[in-house]
Structure 1
Amino acid sequence: MEEPQRRIRALHTASTITVYQAYSPEIGVPAVRRGRFPAAWKRDRMTWIKPSFLWMMYRCGWGTKAGQETVLAVEVARDGFEWALRNACLSSYVRELHSDRSTWQSGLKRAPARVQWDPERDLHLRPLPHRSLQLGLSGEAVRRYADEWTVSISDVTPLAREIRALVSSGDLDSAARLLPQERPYPAGDELMAHLRP
C-alpha cells in the first residue's frame, strides 16, 4: 500500500504519543532524572517536537551535534498533543488551504503551535518521498507541554548510538529491529484538515 504524502507516524498508546527532542547534557540529564524539564530549559522560545525517531536522528546527527548530545523520548498525553494540532498553523503559506497570505500570516502570529512537513528519513538518514510532522510549540503550548502534557522523559541516546553502529557496519536488519515501532497515528480530518494541503 502506498504511503500517504503527509501522515503522523509515531510510537503511541491509547493515551500517549512519544516525541523526540535533543539537548545538551546540561538540560537532557536533569530532564530525565526529574521527568520534567529543568529551569535552564527556555520556555520563551519555540520548541520543536518530532514524532519520527529517524527524523530526530537526522536533525541531531545521531546525538553527535553540539548542543544535541542527549536524545530524549518524551511521552506526551494524546489530548495535549491533539490540542496543539487543533491550535496549530502551517509554518508556510499554502494557497489551497489559506484564503490569502495576510490571513495566513496573522493566523501564524496568533497560533501557539505550528506544523512543518519534512521528508521522512531512512536508516542512512536519506530523505524518503513521504513527509513527517514536526510540531513547533510556543507560548501557551510550551507551558502546557512542560507542565501538563509530559508523562515521562527518557534518554534514548544509547539506543541512537547502537542503531547508528549497526547501520555503519551494514547490519540494517538488526538496526531496523531496534527502531521504535512507529505506526500511523489516528488523526482524522477534524484534527488535520487545516494542516494537510
Structure 2
Amino acid sequence: MKIKFKSYKEQLKKWPQEGYHIMAQYDNEKIIVYQSYRKEIGEFAVRNQYFGGAFSLERMTWIKPNFLWMMYRNGWGKKDGQECVLAIHLKRSAFTHYLENGVYSAYTDDLKITREEWQEKLKASSVRLQWDPDHDPFGAKLERRAIQIGLRNEFIKVFAQEDILLIEDISEFVKEQHQFVLNNDLDKLKVPEERPLLFDDEDLNIKLRLK
C-alpha cells in the first residue's frame, strides 16, 4: 500500500480536538479519500483503476478524506454492502475544484445568503458539502467536525474516470486494525497519517469554516 500509516495515539497528541478541520493525508499533488462498496464494485475499481461496471453514475457518491470518520460510517467494513474499503489517491487540484463548487447540504445563518438564494444554489450545484461530528475509533462523537463531499452529474463522471491517480483496496488492513479496537488495545492501532488541510485561497478557507 502507498498510504503512510502511523500510531493512532501518537497522532492524537497533535490533532485538533475541536472546530472544523479537513483531516487528511495529502501532498501538493494528491489527497487520499475513502469510500466503501460491496465487493463487486470495489474489485472492479481496483482491477481497472477507475469506477465503472456496477458503479452508478446516476446516484450521488460521497467521498471522505478522514479515515476514522469513514470507519464510523462503514462500521470498520462490517456494514452490509460496505465490505470493500477503498483508499482513493485523488488529484489535489480536483479535490479543490469540488470544494470550490460545493454548496452546503443544509442551510445555516452563517452562509450569509438568504434561504431562497441557498435553495437556488443547491438546485444548480452538483457538489454537496456536509460537516458531521468526527468520531474516535470506538465510534464516539468528537467536538471536531469532519467533512464529506457529495458528487453527482458531471462531477461524478469526471471523478470516476479522470480525477483518480490510484485506487487501493485496504479492506484487510481495516480488519486487522479493527481487532485492536475490539480488544481495546489502542497502543497497537495504526491509522493513515493525517493532518489538517488549509488552502492558499483564503476565501475558500472562509467558505469551509477552516481555522
Cα distance in 1 between the residues matched to 2:133 and 2:196:
16
Deviation of the 1:13 alpha carbon: 1.8
Classify the secondary structure of the residue corresponding to 2:111.
coil
Consecutive unaligned residues in structure 2, runs of 5 or more: 1-13
Q: Give the TM-score normalised by the residue count of structure 2.
A: 0.88
**One-letter code aligned to 1:182:** E
State the match for 2:204 in structure 1: 191
1:40 maps to which residue? Answer: 54
Q: Which residue of 2 aligns with 1:29?
A: 43
Q: 1:45 to 1:192 in 2, by over 3 A?
A: farther
Q: Which stretches of structure 1, 4 residues or more, deviate above 3 A after TM superposition?
A: 1-4
CA contact (8 A) 2:18 2:143 kept: no
* Residues 44 and 52, structure 2, Cα contact 8 Å, conserved in 1: yes
- CA displacement at 1:186 relative to structure 2: 2.4
- 144, 154, 169: which is aligned to 1:130? 144
Residue matched to 1:54: 68
Are 1:101 and 2:115 matched, yes or no?
Answer: yes
Distance 1:11 1:118 in 2: 19
Structure 2 Cα separation of the partners of residues 70 and 14 of structure 1 = 28
> Residues 1-197 of structure 1 correspond to what in structure 2 (within 5 A)?
3-175=17-189, 178-187=190-199, 188-196=201-209
Structure 1: tracts of 5 or more residues without a match: none
| Aligned sequence identity (%) | 41
AA matched with 2:197: Y
One-letter identity of the residue aligned with 2:195:
R
Q: CA deviation at 1:4?
A: 4.8
Q: Is the 8 A contact 1:98 1:104 kept in 2?
A: no
CA distance in 2, matches of 1:12, 1:196: 19
Q: One-letter code of the match for 1:12?
A: Y
Amino acid at match of 1:166: F
